[in-house]
Copies of this chain bind each other. A is one copy, B any other.
Amino acid sequence: MRTIGVGLIGLGTVGSGVVEIFGRHRDDFRRRAGVDIELVRFADRDATRASALGLPSDRFTTEAGDVIADPAVDIVIELIGGTGFARDVVLSSLRSGRSVVTANKALMAAHGQEVMEAAAASGVDIAFEAAVGGGIPIISPLKHCLVSNEITSVLGIVNGTTNYILSRMAADGADYPSALAEAQARGYAEADPTADVDGHDAAAKIAILASIAFNSRVTVDEVPVEGIRAVTPSDIAYAAEMGYAIKLMAIARRTPEGIDARVHPTMIPVTHPLANVTGVYNAIYVTGDAVGETMFFGEGAGSLPAASAVVGDVIDVARHVAGGCLGLVGCTCNEQIPVRDISTLTTGYYVRLVVADEPGVLAKVAGAFADHGVSIASVIQKRVCETGDAEIVYVTHQAGEGAVRSALQDIRAFDVVTEVTAVIRVEDL
């Protein structure tokens, strides 16, 4: 049995998980998967990481280029992250005839086409299961098991940090800053949480999933994104009162007008399986014309879950190296479907207003919605005790994003309207 050599670049959280899994199971892989895989070379800018992981010093280098140039390396694992140096490493590896396994969502969401083309040009594999949903199998199921379907939608809770924060807010009525602080204290959120809480991480992931599901390239910059900073315990409570949970949803739909892809806080019915996905868990809900509705659930981040996906990819690629059949499943983006502008969206809207508690206000606001053809599904009105103002919550029927924005512009201009305090899209899944 030929030993397949693997070079690992990046010894951070996921990299250390990869080292751990190989330490536990390398012998098992020989028996179970019929391939002998060895981590032959490691690189990280920080030399202390290799010794902390107990890696042999003669296999370690601070230069990624040494790994790529090593003739014993068949497969390069790229765990650097980002779209700068990591892109160079991935492209050089592919061009040198190495297959690449990566967890790099940012790279695949921004430069997926370039990476796929480089792999195809060299006739090697590029695998990136860990880029979305941590250890949850989702990319391989889309490319293999569900490939017989026309996928109509992919709905994901794909960011564990924000799902943890929203779950804490829902469970305890905690406000956003304190839920964020708790997430940071538990290691679920970075010191600078921007990429997570502003939705950019989720946008990269849905760009990747949409590209595969719809066979048409969607890049991260085409995905409109809104984060969770503005979500309040009050909105979560109103949502619950109306039978909804608020989740940071990554949504991708195939529509006659093009691909509808977006990330924003979303009210979904509490009865939907995604509403029960709490804490740091992720789930991706996929609908296809043959399979119907399916959901993939699990831990979306963390060292070992992400490493589970990375090593799963490595084993598959190693089978292909050993079997002499690399490059069998490449880029699937063979169609060119336009990505819709969010202004063309039609969905439900939750709108919360603070207004003066005086006669005629409700009629005035209702009139503004009606003027723009926005029809109201339900209204809740409550008195704000401190100020004597009234808080009104509207949920609209399906309405155009443009119409709702225009109506809100009119409503904000009314003297009797103190503030439009929240606008959250509603998906009646």
Interface residue ranges, A against B (CB under 8 Å): 17, 21, 24-25, 28-29, 31-34, 129, 135-137, 140-141, 144-150, 215, 273, 276, 288-299, 302, 304-305, 307-312, 314-316, 319-320, 323-325, 328-330, 332, 334-335
Taking a contact as CB atoms closer than 8 A, the residue among B32, B296, B325, B330 that contacts A332 in the complex is: B32
A18 to B30, CA, bound (A): 36
Give the 9 A-B residue pairs with the shortest CB-CB distance, closest first. Answer: A325-B325, A148-B311, A137-B145, A294-B298, A135-B291, A290-B308, A295-B297, A291-B308, A137-B141
B25, B34, B129, B332: which contacts A150 (Cβ < 8 A)? B25
Given A144-B312, A292-B135, A304-B291: A297 in contact with B325 (beta carbons within 8 A): no
Give the distance to chain B from A29, nearest Cβ to Cβ, in Å.
Answer: 8
B148-A137 in contact (CB<8A): no
Please give the count of copies of this chain that the complex contains: 2
Q: Which residues of B contact A148 (CB under 8 A)?
A: 21, 25, 29, 307-308, 310-312, 314-315
A147 touches B291 (CB 8 A): no
A34-B330 in contact (CB<8A): yes
Q: How far is the CA of A113 from the CA of B290 in the complex (A)?
A: 30
> Closest CB-CB distance, A120 to chain B, in whole Å?
10
**Among B21, B146, B314, B328, which residue has its beta carbon within 8 angstroms of that of A290?**
B21
CB nearest neighbor in B for A28: B150
CB-nearest residue of chain B to A311: B148
Q: Within the complex, which residue of B293, B325, B330 is in contact with A298, where a contact is CB–CB below 8 Å?
A: B293
Partner of A149, one of B144, B308, B328: B308
In the docked arrangement, what's the CA distance between A150 and B273, Å? 27
Is the beta-carbon distance between B32 and A215 smaller than 8 angstroms?
Answer: yes
The reply to whether B325 and A32 form a contact with Cβ atoms under 8 Å apart is no
* Across-interface contacts of A294 in B (CB, < 8 A): 135-137, 296-299
> Please, which residues of chain B bring their CB within 8 A of the CB of A325?
320, 323-325, 328
Taking CB atoms, residues of chain B closer than 8 Å to A25 are 148, 150
Interfacial chain B residues near A330, Cβ < 8 Å: 34
- Is B147 a contact partner of A312 (Cβ separation < 8 A)? yes
Given the contacts A136-B294, A150-B25, A273-B297, A319 and B328 also touching, CB distance less than 8 Å: yes
- 17 pairs from A and B in contact (CB 8 Å cutoff): A28-B150, A31-B215, A136-B291, A137-B145, A137-B296, A141-B141, A141-B145, A147-B315, A148-B311, A290-B307, A293-B298, A294-B297, A294-B298, A295-B298, A319-B329, A324-B325, A325-B325
A316 lies within 8 A of B144 (CB): yes
Instruction: Name A17's closest neighbour in chain B (CB-CB).
Output: B290
A328 to chain B, nearest CB (A): 5
Is the pair B215, A308 in contact by a Cβ cutoff of 8 Å?
Answer: no
Set of chain B residues within 8 Å of A315, measured between Cβ atoms: 144, 147-148
The CA-CA distance from A390 to B234 in the complex, in Å, is 48
